[in-house]
Chains A and B, each alone.
Chain A
Amino acid sequence: EPEVTQTPSHQVTQMGQEVILRCVPISNHLYFYWYRQILGQKVEFLVSFYNNEISEKSEIFDDQFSVERPDGSNFTLKIRSTKLEDSAMYFCASRPPLAGGPNEQFFGPGTRLTVL
């Protein structure tokens, strides 16, 4: 069964460093998302992406964050200069292009980001 994959499973970085989290969505999906979950808190929406542009973003998704679909298969989240408070589990999700919604979002296993 097709699934969303994410790499790495755990990333440790120093404060101020750039990180790129990678996701491979399910191949025929057209809508892509990033969410994060700070330990002990809610899963929070970051950004949605469709047709090579951002559809919607939350107030968390500031200028330090960017997303890209560089090659038609990967979907990446970049954090330019990490802060301690960026430590969280980051989930990628994708959704198929079916008519009539809402449609299920399929989630990856997450990348745990630890900023030291």
Chain B
Amino acid sequence: GDSVTQMEGPVTLSEEAFLTINCTYTATGYPSLFWYVQYPGEGLQLLLKATKADDKGSNKGFEATYRKETTSFHLEKGSVQVSDSAVYFCALTRNDYKLSFGAGTTVTVRA
């Protein structure tokens, strides 16, 4: 079945550091890929998405590129802020009926 594997956390960074969270997937066909973020006390929010190979999703300074050859969708941000502290989830869907999530990576950014 479909599965998503993402980098284990927690990740602790200083402000303005570079952030990478690795995500790889297993799925038949051509899934769409997502990054969701969960800020403390809130629900899951879509951060960015990509629907086909070589697409780059971007939002709020975060980027991820859909790499079919490596079945990856790594999340990057060049300069993190304290407000980026959250849990980040990589996810995929093939049929729009359900999302398959990774385990989540907790990121803490210190001032």
A33–B91 Cα distance when bound, in Å, is 15
| Total chain A interface residues with beta-carbon distance under 8 A | 27
A63-116 interface with B by 8 A CB criterion: 91, 93, 95, 101-110
Q: Contacts A101-B32, A102-B49, A109-B41; is A42 near B103 (CB within 8 Å)?
A: yes
Instruction: Say yes or no for B93: interface residue by CB 8 A criterion.
Output: yes
Q: Which residues of A contact B42 (CB under 8 A)?
A: 109
Could you tell me which B residues sit within 8 Å of A by CB distance? 32, 36, 41-46, 49, 51, 89, 91, 93, 95-104
- Minimum CB–CB distance from A71 to chain B (whole Å) comes to 22
User: A42 and B101: CB pair below 8 A?
Assistant: yes
Q: Which residues of B contact A12 (CB under 8 A)?
A: none
1/0 contact string of A46-70 vs chain B (CB within 8 Å): 0010000001101000000000000
Could you tell me which A residues sit within 8 Å of B by CB distance? 3-4, 31, 33, 35, 41-45, 48, 55-56, 58, 91, 93, 95, 101-110
User: A107 and B43: CB pair below 8 A?
Assistant: yes
Of chain B, the residue at the smallest CB distance from A9 is B41
